[in-house]
Amino acid sequence: MRAFEYHAPTQLDEAVETLHQHGAAARALAGGTDLVVQMKEGATRFPSPSHLISLKLVSQLQGIDFGGEDGLRIGAAVTMAEVSESPLIRQRFPAVAEGAGVVGSFQTMNMATVGGNLCNAAPSADIAPPLLVYEAEAVIVGPQGRRSLPLEEFFLGPGHTALMPDELLVEVRVPTPSARSGSAYARHTPRKQMDIAVVGVGVVLTLSDGGTIEKARVALGAVAPTPVRSRAAEAILEGQAVSEELFSRAAKVAASESKPISDTRGSADFRSHLVQVLTERMIRTAIARATNG
């Protein structure tokens, strides 16, 4: 690992100014579970930084807050353990808690952050599909001020996001789900822990008073260059009465809409099969949770 200068700002504007000052030579450091490994292994997708800017002491990046109609706010430096163990998130946003709860080992979950997992922009990021189905927004701060964009537009490709070199992801905003909504997230990995998702699927469904599916959101991980929504599957589900035949049809469409590759963790055909199996399973789970309130 190359030598670097370590910065530990305590205020957000100080962190942004330090990042702006050093430009491409600097990287923001949250939990370090991705960045430090990349630096040790000499990853080629970015120059090895000569300045690391720790975000651990920046209070504006911490905290989980829920404001009713204002929705859920998750600070970028909140750890996966905090998200997965939050009673509020487990009750109101269960898919998000489930995604955070499978990120590496328990030790990793105590270090890895929501912002780090998103900014690393791995197609297999476990927190991404659950946040996508909730139509979350990324809140970004840089020298030019604050801006927000749908999380779906945040991911540009493997390892690439909409962040400018001198910008920081500050928080994620998640709208409050409608009444009679249910969600679920699951992934497939060869091992239970310390592994990367071969496929991940998140689902949010909202039932109407008559029992039909009023709104559907389906998101897939590890089957495209970025985490993606399966809009064709969503369209099939919306406005329809709940039935096993509907679940099966939507799952098949989600599989056909995915664009997986073959690698050492699984073939494209295997991944497509997993998308179908997990999508159908997550639809059932989301329906059950919506029905049970």
d(CA 241, CA 255): 21
- 163 and 249, same domain (yes or no): no
The pLDDT averaged over each successive group of 10 residues in the chain (293 residues) is: 85 95 86 71 66 92 90 96 97 97 85 92 94 98 96 95 95 95 94 77 96 97 96 98 98 96 89 97 98 84
Q: Which pairing describes strands 51-54 and 5-7: parallel, antiparallel, or unpaired?
A: parallel
Q: Are 123 and 117 in contact (CB under 8 A)?
A: no
164 in the same domain as 86: yes
Distance in angstroms (rounded) separating the CA atoms of residues 216 and 180: 12
Q: How far is CA 37 from its chain centroid?
A: 20
Q: What pLDDT is stored for residue 84 in this prediction?
A: 97
Q: Please report, for the domain that includes residue 287, its CATH number.
A: 3.30.390.50
Give the strand pairing for 137-142 and 168-174. antiparallel
**Cα distance between residue 26 and residue 221, in whole Å:** 29
What does the alpha-carbon distance between residue 168 and residue 149 come to, in Å, rounded to a whole number?
A: 13
Position 111: which residue type? M
**Residue 232 sits in the same domain as residue 140:** no
- The per-residue pLDDT for 223 is 95
pLDDT for the residue 47:
64
Q: Among 127, 145, 174, where does a domain finish?
A: 174
Q: Is the pTM of this model over 0.95?
A: no
Q: Contact 64/86 with Cβ under 8 angstroms?
A: yes
Q: Please report, for the domain that includes residue 66, its CATH number.
A: 3.30.465.10
Residue that finishes a domain, picked among 148, 174, 200? 174
Query: Domain check: are 209 and 153 in the same one?
Result: no
The per-residue pLDDT for 24 is 82
| CA triple 284-209-275, angle to 5 deg | 20
Q: Tokens for 194, please give them.
A: 């310390």
Locate tokens 């690698």: which residue? 263
The residue written with tokens 């390892």 in the block is: 159
Domain boundary among the residues 174, 193, 216 is at 174
Are both 77 and 114 inside the same structural domain? yes
Residue 43: DSSP 8-state: -
**The pLDDT of residue 192:** 61
For tokens 């009465």, the residue is 241
Residue 70 belongs to domain spanning: 62-174
Residue 61 is classified by DSSP as: G
Both 196 and 246 in a single domain?
Answer: yes
Residue 188: phi, psi to the nearest 5? -115, 130
Given this model, what pLDDT does residue 43 score? 57
- Which residues neighbour 275 within 8 Å (Cβ) at sequence distance 6 or greater? 199, 201, 220, 223, 251, 254, 255, 258, 260
Q: What is the predicted pLDDT for the residue at 60?
A: 96
Residues 59/77, Cβ–Cβ less than 8 Å: no
DSSP 126-181: TTHHHHHHTT-EEEEEETTEEEEEEHHHHEEETTEES--TT-EEEEEEEPPPPTTE
DSSP per residue, 229-276: E-HHHHHHHTT-B--HHHHHHHHHHHHHH-----BTTB-HHHHHHHHH
Q: Are residue 248 and residue 169 in the same domain, yes or no?
A: no
CATH of the domain at 29: 3.30.43.10
Do both 151 and 185 map to the same domain?
no
Tally of domains in the chain: 3
Radius of gyration of the chain from its Cα atoms, rounded to whole angstroms: 19
| pLDDT, position 191 | 67
Based on the fold, state whether residues 194 and 170 are members of the same structural domain: no
**Does 148 lie in the same domain as 49?**
no
Q: Is 71 helix (H, G, I), strand (E, B) or coil?
A: coil
Query: 30 with 75, same domain?
Result: no
According to DSSP, residue 212 is labeled: B
Gap between the terminal Cα atoms of the chain: 51
Q: Are residues 78 and 165 in the same domain?
A: yes
Structure letter (DSSP) for residue 113: B
